[in-house]
A and B are shown apart, each in its own frame.
Chain A
Amino acid sequence: MAGLSPSERRLQKELMSLMKEPPPGMEVDSDKAEQNLNLWTIHMKGAEGTLYDGEEFQLQFKFGPKYPFDSPEVTFVGNNIPVHPHVYSNGHICLSILTDDWSPALSVQSVCLSIVSMLSSCKEK
Chain B
Amino acid sequence: MATTSSGSKQTPPNRDEGSGDQKKTDGGNDKSQIYDCNICFDTAKDAVISMCGHLFCWPCLHQWLETCPNRQTCPVCKAAIDKEVLKFFYWPGRGGSEIDPRDEVPPRPQGQRTERENSSIPPEQRGMFDDAITRRSESNSMWSLGESGFSIGEFLLGLFSSTSSLGDQRLRSGNGFRGADYGYTSPGGLFSAGGAQGRPGEAHAHGGARFDANVEIEDMFFKLFLIFAALCLFYILFVF
A binds B: yes
A residues within 8 Å of B by Cβ? 1, 6, 9-10, 12-14, 16-17, 20-21, 23-25, 47-51, 66, 68-70, 103-107, 116, 120-121, 123-125
Question: How many residue pairs between the two chains, A and B, have CB atoms under 8 Å in the bound complex?
Answer: 80
Chain A residues with CB under 8 A of B63: 69
Chain A residues with CB under 8 A of B237: none
Q: Which of B19-42 contact A (CB under 8 A)?
A: 21-22, 25-27, 38-42
In the complex, whether B1 has a CB less than 8 A from a CB of chain A is yes
Chain A residues with CB under 8 A of B18: 20-21
Report yes or no: A16 in contact with B25, Cβ–Cβ below 8 A.
yes
A104 to chain B, nearest CB (A): 4
Distance A21 CA – B25 CA, assembled complex (angstroms): 12
Chain B residues with CB under 8 A of A50: 4, 8, 10
Given A21-B18, A25-B11, A48-B9: A104 touches B26 (CB 8 Å cut-off) = no
Interface range on chain B (Cβ under 8 Å from partner): 20 to 34
Chain B residues with CB under 8 A of A20: 18, 21-22
Chain B residues with CB under 8 A of A47: 8, 10-11
B1-20 contact mask (Cβ, 8 Å, vs A): 1 or 0: 10111111111111000100
Report yes or no: B8 in contact with A13, Cβ–Cβ below 8 A.
no
Given A49-B4, A50-B4: A105 touches B39 (CB 8 Å cut-off) = yes
Report yes or no: B10 in contact with A24, Cβ–Cβ below 8 A.
yes
